[in-house]
Every structure is written in C-alpha cells, then in structure tokens.
Structure 1
C-alpha cells in the first residue's frame, strides 16, 4: 500500500472516487490512501448513494479533510464496506482520544449529536474505492473544531489517520504470511 498526504488544497467534487484516480494524480499503481484538505461540493452526477440522490441531499462543506482509499485485490462490495467500517472505527478511536464522546453509527461519526463525517464506498471493474471526509469547520454539522482540534493541528491529524490505516494493512499482510491454511492442520 502507498500513501500520499497532499500539501496543496484540493476540493472534493465526487470525481475523485473514480477508479485509478491515484494513478492519474500521482502515478500510484498500488493499493493507496491519499489525504488532502479542501472544500466539498458533490454534484448529483457524482453521487453514488442513491438515497442521497433521490432525496436531493447536499453534500457540501467549505473545509474538510478527505481520504481517498483504493484497493485492487477485489471488487467485492461487501468487502469494501467492511474496509470502510474499519477505517471509520480507526478514526473514531483516534478522535475519541481528544476527550470527546465520538459516536459511530455504521460509516458515520457524530460529535455532540452532530454528524461529523461523510463517507461512501463502491466498486468498479478494477478496484474498490472509499471516500471519507471530516468537517474541519462547519456551522451546522459537527467539526474538528467542536472536538478542540485547531486548523493548525489538521495536517498532523491527517498524517496520524493515514498511518493508522496504512499500518493496519501492513499488519494484515504480515499476518497473512505467517498463518497456515486450515486444510494443512
């Protein structure tokens, strides 16, 4: 797995969830997690969640931290949802360390009853993709500001989150290489 933390601002519009985005962006041809900070404005043509699309929901924020994850080992939708939930749980655990009660419901995180994150997972013919966004500041929804994480701390938080996921998969890969199959017992 490769990881990149972009140091330039990049707004998320939903097109980044497309397959091979990391390859188009930075020549990454491996499983990857890419983090960046920017606004969020997902137009209807890029909405993957049909419930959101049918209800005319807006996915908008002026300042978010975004994570785009791509895996090439499977196009199984159930597996990518499990990976999305794992990522959400890792983020919840990390953010809970800041002293706030972070509540996870599926792939969503809440602080003080306000939705803190947006996330979507899907598959294509070649890969699994996950987008996970956390509000840095927001007037209506929950935000990192509500947790007590200032704008100057966001870059460090992005790195911690990326490394949690990266290390989790490095550990999984290591475990795969030391476990014998059941039919060998």
Structure 2
C-alpha cells in the first residue's frame, strides 16, 4: 500500500470520494491513501451517508486534514473495520502528541462533546473507499467542534504523513499475519 501527501491545498466537496482518485491525480495505482489539506463543504447532492441526507445535514469546515483511502476489494464490512483502524490510528498519533482527552465513538473522534472528525466508508464499482476529515480549525462549523489547532498540532501535513505511514504499515502487517500461518483441520 502506498500513500501520497499533497503539498498544495485541495478543497473537499465529496466528489473526490471516487474510485481511482489517487491514481488519476497523483499516479498511485492500487491500494493507496491520499492526504491533503483544505476546506470542506459537502452538500446534500454529494452526501454518501443517507442518515445525514435524511436529516438534511451538511458538512463544513474552513480547514481540514483529509485522508482518502482506496482498497481494491469489494468487502464493505472489511472496509468499515479498516475505517475504524484509521480512526484508532489517528487517535493514537494524537495521544502521542499529548491529546489525552479524546474518545472514539464508532468512526468519529470527540473531545468532550466537540467533534474532531467526519468519516465515511463506501463502495465503488471497482473498490472500497474511505474518507476521513479532521478539523484543523474549529471556527464557523455547523456543530460544536474541536480542531488540530486546538490540540496543538503544529505541522498538520507532517501529522497526516505519520498517520499514513502507520496505517500503511498496519495493512502490510495484517497481510503478513494472514500469510504466515498454516491451516488447521
């Protein structure tokens, strides 16, 4: 599994959650992760979470750190497990930086009642996809939020790369664990 850190700002509107996004934009073919920073505004027509659509919710942040993950398998349940692995990895990386008050609930991170993340896993015609966005700024969001700035994360893209390295290493380790055991009867 490979990753790419986009140094230039890139805003997220939901249309980036598509098969082959990292290949088309950054040349990484196969299982991959793209990390970028930019604003986030997802309107109803780009929403993947049908509960959010039914509630007429929308997602907005002036500044977010985004992760788009693509796995070329068609098992959505496995991808949801990977999504939660990504969230747990983010939480552990933040704890290493001193953010000890975070809690994970499903696929989201909170500091008290203030939400840090948005996340979704879905299926495309050829792969499964994960988007996770972490607020960098907590200003002007439609719900109470916290951000990486509030958690004293100084270098946001470096933090994103640390998460990407750990996630990719976990995926590789799981593949290795799957291949090293003999079957039993």
Identify unmatched segments of 5+ residues in structure 2. Answer: none
Deviation at 1:85, TM superposition (A): 0.7
**Contact 1:112 / 1:142 at 8 angstroms: preserved in 2?**
no
> Does the alignment pair 1:141 with 2:163?
no
What is the deviation of 1:173?
2.1
Q: Partners of 1:162 and 1:29 in 2: how far apart?
A: 16
**Alpha carbon RMSD of aligned pairs, Å?**
1.2
Aligned to 1:33: 33
Structure 1 residue 26, shift from structure 2 partner: 2.0
- Report the equivalent of 1:52: 52
**Corresponding residue number in structure 1 for 2:77:** 78
Gaps of 5+ in 1: none
Aligned-pair distance for 1:103? 0.4
Q: Give secondary structure in 2 for the equivalent of 1:30.
A: coil
* Separation of aligned partners in 2, 1:21 and 1:155: 19
Larger % of helix: which?
1
Residue in 1 aligned with 2:157? 155
Q: Distance in 2 between matches of 1:10 and 1:36?
A: 6
- Correspondence 1:162-181 to 2 at 5 A: 162-181=164-183
Three-state SS of the structure 1 residue aligned to 2:150 is helix
Task: Tell me the TM-score normalized by structure 2.
Answer: 0.92
Once residues 93 and 27 of structure 2 are traced to their aligned partners in structure 1, the CA distance between those partners, rounded to angstroms, is 30
Runs of 4+ residues deviating >6 angstroms: none
- Counterparts of 2:91 and 2:184, CA distance in 1: 34
Contact 1:111 1:146 in 2 (8 A): no
